[in-house]
Amino acid sequence: MRTEGVGIPQSRGEAVAGKLLLFIVAVLMCIGVVVVYSSGAGWAETKFSNSEYFLMRHVVFTVAGVAVVLVVGHFDYHFFSKISRLLYLASIILLTALLLLKVVGVIHGAARWIGVGPVKFQVSDLAKYALIFRFARFISDKEGDVRDLDTGYYPMLALLLAVSVLVALEPNFSTASLITILGFSLMFAGGVNLRYLLATGAMVIPAAIAYALAAPYRIARLVSFFSDSPKGLSYQVVQALIGLGNGGLLGLGIGASKQRELYLPLSYNDFVFVVIGEEYGFIGAVSVILLFAGFFICGLIIAKHAPDLFGRFVALGITIAITLFAFINISVACHLIPTTGVALPFISYGGTALLFNSLGVGILLSISRYRKRMLEKEAAAAPVPDPSNEPPTELSDWSRP
């Protein structure tokens, strides 16, 4: 793997971007702890007779996420290049296993989670990051062949479609769509001819629309979204809009949300942004949006100054993935796009997404610190000069016995 400019000192912008990114993520995690407790207390009391059920679990995952960020941030991110093929293969095997378990009747409903007992994780999260690592490794290894149709585009398209189709069949159409957008974005940034992407999109989009319309609940969501009458809107959308309207400019205050009290389904997960808007108002909601905008900018700076192509495209992929999911979640809460189940990164309740996103942040920090670590290693390995071997520098030294 080619490494570019490892000996170049870390730029000031890169150093600041890494520190600011860590600060932004810490603030988002703190917001998540407060909002999950506020939005989930009523539901937790109803379901588990314990108002702190969601809070305690989310705190545990948040602490674990912080540990992941700090530990991975000191790793050499090239480790993920070495295991990129293995991670991608593992994600394909697990996604296929989920569908087989669904076919034989072991799993009923959506086949998204795998594990034993309480130890479970959502395989699509693993697949998303595995695809980022695999694409980054492919682009860095075959930089000159990426623009070629047979040796570059077709292999990358096959890698992307294998993941997207398996996730869509779970069914998890929204996540599959976002993974496809992520993959196309990386291919475009990697130098794939835009005509190839447009031609593929012309074929994939109609097939995706047909698949989406094959499920009655997806049709109902589309009908609700395009409805001109408030009565035609879905219950979730109505409650979300009421909640955002209640917040006004400054919000109702911490813990004062009215929609969270069993009116808004999944207020601690998919619609957590509504609770933020209701309790902290327009200013609080915009502040969260600005935090994600800052995350996006910091991620781009880290990607731009990455010491090699693998680091550059891993940083770009992680940055796009996290901000894209945040954009979709916020857009759904504001009724800008049809309702879909996507969590708000670092804030929504959920352990799998939080831990994988923490892994992504740790890798971003590792990339931003790579040059500094290399310079420190070089300095530590450099031989210490022996003063006795240095020539005298003062006239009096020559006269000493």
pLDDT 10s digit of each residue in the chain, 401 long? 444 544 445 556 677 899 999 999 999 999 999 999 988 887 788 888 888 888 999 999 999 999 999 999 999 999 999 999 999 999 999 999 999 988 888 887 777 877 766 667 889 999 999 999 999 999 999 887 888 999 999 999 999 999 999 999 988 889 999 999 999 999 999 999 999 999 999 999 898 888 888 878 788 777 777 766 666 567 777 888 888 888 899 999 888 888 776 677 778 888 899 999 999 999 999 999 999 999 999 999 999 999 999 999 999 999 999 999 999 999 998 988 888 878 999 999 988 899 999 999 999 999 998 877 776 676 676 666 656 665 555 544 434 44
Specify whether 41 is located in the same domain as 84. no
Q: How many domains does the chain have?
A: 2
Q: Which domain holds residue 288?
A: 25-72+235-374
pLDDT, tens digit, 9 for 90 and up, residues 135-168: 999 999 988 788 899 999 999 999 999 999 999 9
Query: Measuring CA to CA, which residue among 153, 92, 129 is closest to residue 360?
Result: 129
Pairing relationship of beta strands 119-122 and 113-116 according to DSSP bridges: antiparallel
pLDDT at 385: 62
The terminus-to-terminus CA distance of the chain in angstroms comes to 57
Pair 367, 241 in one domain: yes
Q: What is the pTM of this model?
A: 0.89
In a domain, 183, yes or no: yes
pLDDT at 117: 63
Residue 193 domain-assigned?
yes
The pair of three-digit structure tokens given for residue 24, joined into one six-digit string: 């932004």
Domain-embedded: residue 337: yes
User: What is the distance between the alpha carbons of residues 213 and 222, in angstroms, rounded to a whole number?
Assistant: 9
Domain boundary among 185, 214, 243: 214
CB half-sphere exposure, 91, CA atoms < 13 A = 27
User: If 0-12 CB within 10 Å is exposed, 13-18 middle and 19+ buried, where does residue 282 land?
Assistant: middle
Angle between helices 309-333 and 173-190 (to 10 degrees): 140
Q: Is residue 349 part of a domain?
A: yes
The verdict on residue 270 lying in a domain is: yes
What does the pLDDT read at residue 268?
81
The whole-number pLDDT of residue 98 equals 92
| Per-chain mean pLDDT for the chain | 86
Same domain, 120 and 134: yes
Clarify whether residues 144 and 100 are in a common domain.
yes
Same domain, 84 and 191: yes
Burial 95-104 (b: 16+ CB within 10 A, else e): beebeeebee
Question: Same structural domain for residues 169 and 61?
Answer: no
Report pLDDT for 399: 43
Q: Check whether residue 314 and residue 243 sit in a common domain.
A: yes
Residues 352 and 252 in one domain: yes
The answer to whether residues 167 and 102 belong to one domain is yes
**104 and 51 share one domain:** no
- Give yes or no: residues 48 and 88 share one domain: no
| Phi, psi of 257, rounded to the nearest 5 degrees | -60, 135
Is the residue at 64 inside a domain? yes
Whether 155 is in a domain gets the answer yes
Do 253 and 169 lie in one domain? The reply is no
Instruction: Select from 276, 279, 285, 319 the least CA-distant residue to 299.
Output: 319
